[in-house]
Amino acid sequence: MMGKFASANALIRSLLVVFCLAGVFASQALAQTSAQQSPPTTPNAPANNGQQPTTSNPQSPGAEEEQSVQEGISLRKKEHNYKNWNYNVGAGANVDSGATKSFVRGGGLGGMIGVARNANRYLGIRADAIYEDLPLKQSSIAISGATSATSYLLSGTLGPIINIPVSSTFGGYVLFGAGFFHRAGSLNNDTTLPGSACSSFWTWWQGQCFNGSLPLNGHFANTSQNQFGYDVGAGVTRKMPSGVEIYAEFRLMHGSNNGTTTDVRPITVGVRW
């Protein structure tokens, strides 16, 4: 009987040892499984003190090239601070000089139109078509024996113009060049006889006399002379808000042919754009 009890007691002890070992192994397995399934911890992000993170936005090569092209265009526009072409129109009166002053009264009306091609802000070339009325003095009409007369000058000039910018509003210029002058006129109801003595008026009026006498054919009442010469002038400009400039100009114009001269001093006020 005691042998049987000892055998049972040994069996119970063996079972307890097995159960203990099984619990230990089970605990170790559970711990390993939990470690594998738990997610890794992430470190805390550093504080940015309320500032947004800066992000770099590098420009692509195409954008840099386009920006360079735009800057080049803007620079060229800034450098091209003048008009390629200028146009002018004006009117005024003339003051005579020389032999013309002896036979023509001052104050004859005149006008001009012109165009200038500018090479840069300061230098260009200008061409003008000019009309000047040359009203004869009463003493000249009396010499001719006429009741009235008409006299005028048509001219074309071409030469350099030098612009002088003073400010964004005011400026000036000087010009000079060659000119072609056509002076013409007619005497109305003249009573001078052909072959009469040729005075200084007749020499200036028709260009020349033949052997000191007027032509026998009577072709002296009308005159038409072509002369070549020069002109020199200067002007001031005032730019208006619209971009149009008001100008005032003074010129000295001289033409001659066969000793006969024409001298006028036009004073012109006009606009150019």
pLDDT of residue 5: 43
State the Cα–Cα distance between residues 235 and 112, nearest whole angstrom: 14
- What percent of the chain has a predicted confidence (pLDDT) above 90? 60
pLDDT tens readout for residues 38-91: 454 444 544 454 555 454 455 555 666 666 656 655 555 556 788 999 999 999
pLDDT of residue 255: 97
Q: Where are the domains of the chain?
A: 87-272
Mean pLDDT of 214-230: 91
Range from 39-53, 155-169, 196-210 that averages highest in pLDDT? 155-169
State the Cα–Cα distance between residues 157 and 128, nearest whole angstrom: 5
The answer to whether the CB of 269 falls within 8 A of the CB of 91 is: yes
Higher pLDDT, 248 or 15: 248
pLDDT of residue 272: 97
The answer to whether the CB of 157 falls within 8 A of the CB of 177 is: yes
pLDDT tens readout for residues 93-114: 999 999 999 999 999 999 999 9
Higher pLDDT, 200 or 81: 200
pLDDT of residue 209: 84
State the Cα–Cα distance between residues 205 and 104, nearest whole angstrom: 11
pLDDT of residue 20: 52
Higher pLDDT, 61 or 156: 156
CA distances from 244 to 77, 158, 195, 247, 263 (A): 20, 23, 56, 10, 31
The residues near 21 (Cβ < 8 Å, ≥ 6 apart) are none
pLDDT of residue 61: 58
- pLDDT tier at 215, thresholds 50, 70, 90: confident
Mean pLDDT of 144-162: 96
pLDDT of residue 1: 44
SS3 (DSSP) at 9:
helix
pLDDT of residue 74: 55
pLDDT tens readout for residues 180-199: 999 999 999 988 888 899 89
pLDDT of residue 163: 97
What is the Cα Rg of the chain in Å?
Answer: 53
- Domain 87-272 grouped into CATH 2.40.160.20: yes
